C-alpha cells in the first residue's frame, strides 16, 4: 500500500505539526476537527511554521505555497473516507481517543491503517474498541513535530506485521527516525523522561532549589538542551499530568505519583507556554 493521502484527527499543536510534515513529504492531508475555528487555527499554525522556515532560507515561498495546497480541512468525518492512513492526535484521554477511533473505523476503508499519536496510553487497550484491531498501531511523534526527528512506532498486542511495517515506512518517508517499541505505559522515551521531570517538580516543591537553578543544573550537569521545568512548560502541564496519572494507575507504584505542585498548577490553569504561564511566564 502506497500512502497518498493522510487523515489527521485533531488540529492542535501535535495534529497541525503532523499535517505539516505529511504535506511537506508530498502527501495530501485532510485535517478533521470538531469545528472550523479549530481547523483554521491549525492551518494558521502551519502557515506560521512554514514562514519561519522560509525566513531561515530552508524553504522557498513557492515550496511553502505548494505544501499548503496539499492541506485541506473538514468538520465532516466523511472527508476521511478515502485516506490511506489515519492518525489520531487529540487530547491525551483514553475515553476521548477510544470513542473517536471507534467512530472513524466505520468511515475509513478496510485497507486504511489507523494510528494514535498517544504519548502514554496503551495501544492494546485502545485497539480493543475496534472491529479490526490488527490494523491499529501507535505512532508517537514528539513536539515540535517538524523539528523533532524521532517517532516511536508502537506495536500493540493485536497489531499485525504489515500495519507495523507500513507505519515504520511512513515515518521514514516523513524524514523521521522510527524506533520499534512494544506496548507499555509511556513506551520508551516518556517512560524515562517523565519521571525525571516529575522529580524536578518535587525538588522545586520541597524548596531545595529555585526553578532556574534546577533547569541550569540539568542543562550544565547533564548536558540537556533544555531544563526539565522549561520542558514541562513546552509540553503542557495538563498533558504531562495526564501521562503521570497513566503511569501511576498502570504501574501502581508510588514512585510514579504526580507531584502535588503539578496538580495545583494544572488546577489553577497554569499549563505552560500555551496559557502564557507555567513554571515560567511567557509573552503572549
Active site residues: 119, 140, 152, 190
Cβ atoms within 10 Å of 223's Cβ, excluding its own: 7
244, 269, 268: which is closest to 258 by C-alpha?
A: 244
Counting Cβ atoms within 10 Å, is residue 202 exposed (0-12), middle (13-18) or buried (19+)? middle
Residues 6+ apart with CB under 8 A from 104: 9, 77, 80, 86, 88, 114
Contact 130, 136 (CB under 8 A): yes
147, 173, 119: which is closest to 6 by C-alpha?
A: 173
C-alpha cell at 66: 505548494
Cell numbers 533544555 correspond to what residue?
A: 226
179, 193, 120, 122: which is closest to 149 by C-alpha?
A: 179
Amino acid at each position: 500500500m502506497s500512502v497518498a493521502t493522510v487523515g489527521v484527527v485533531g488540529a492542535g499543536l501535535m495534529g497541525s505539526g503532523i499535517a505539516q510534515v505529511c504535506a511537506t513529504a508530498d502527501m495530501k492531508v485532510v485535517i478533521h476537527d470538531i469545528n472550523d475555528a479549530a481547523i483554521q487555527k491549525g492551518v494558521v499554525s502551519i502557515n506560521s511554521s512554514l514562514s519561519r522556515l522560509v525566513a531561515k532560507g530552508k524553504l522557498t515561498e513557492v515550496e511553502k505555497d505548494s505544501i499548503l495546497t496539499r492541506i485541506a480541512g473538514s468538520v465532516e468525518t466523511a472527508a476521511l473516507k478515502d485516506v490511506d492512513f489515519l492518525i489520531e492526535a487529540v487530547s491525551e484521554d483514553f475515553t476521548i481517543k477510544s470513542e473517536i477511533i471507534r467512530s472513524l473505523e466505520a468511515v475509513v476503508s478496510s485497507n486504511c491503517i489507523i494510528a494514535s499519536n498517544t504519548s502514554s496510553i496503551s495501544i492494546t487497550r485502545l485497539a480493543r474498541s475496534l472491529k479490526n484491531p490488527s490494523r491499529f498501531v501507535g505512532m508517537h511523534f514528539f513536539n515540535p513535530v517538524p523539528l523533532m526527528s524521532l517517532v516511536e512506532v508502537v506495536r500493540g498486542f493485536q497489531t499485525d506485521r504489515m500495519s507495523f511495517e507500513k507505519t515504520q515506512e511512513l515515518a521514514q518517508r516523513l524524514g523521521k527516525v522510527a524506533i520499534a517499541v512494544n506496548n507499555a505505559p509511556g513506551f520508551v522515551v516518556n517512560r524515562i523522561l517523565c519521571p525525571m521531570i516529575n522529580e524536578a517538580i518535587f525538588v522545586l516543591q520541597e524548596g531545595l532549589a529555585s526553578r532556574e537553578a534546577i533547569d541550569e543544573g540539568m542543562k550544565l550537569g547533564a548536558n540537556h538542551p533544555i531544563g526539565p521545568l522549561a520542558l514541562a512548560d513546552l509540553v503542557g502541564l495538563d498533558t504531562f499530568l495526564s501521562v503521570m496519572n497513566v503511569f501511576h494507575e498502570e504501574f501502581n507504584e508510588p514512585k510514579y505519583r504526580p507531584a502535588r505542585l503539578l496538580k495545583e498548577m494544572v488546577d489553577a490553569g497554569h499549563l505552560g507556554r500555551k496559557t502564557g504561564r507555567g513554571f515560567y511566564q511567557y509573552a503572549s
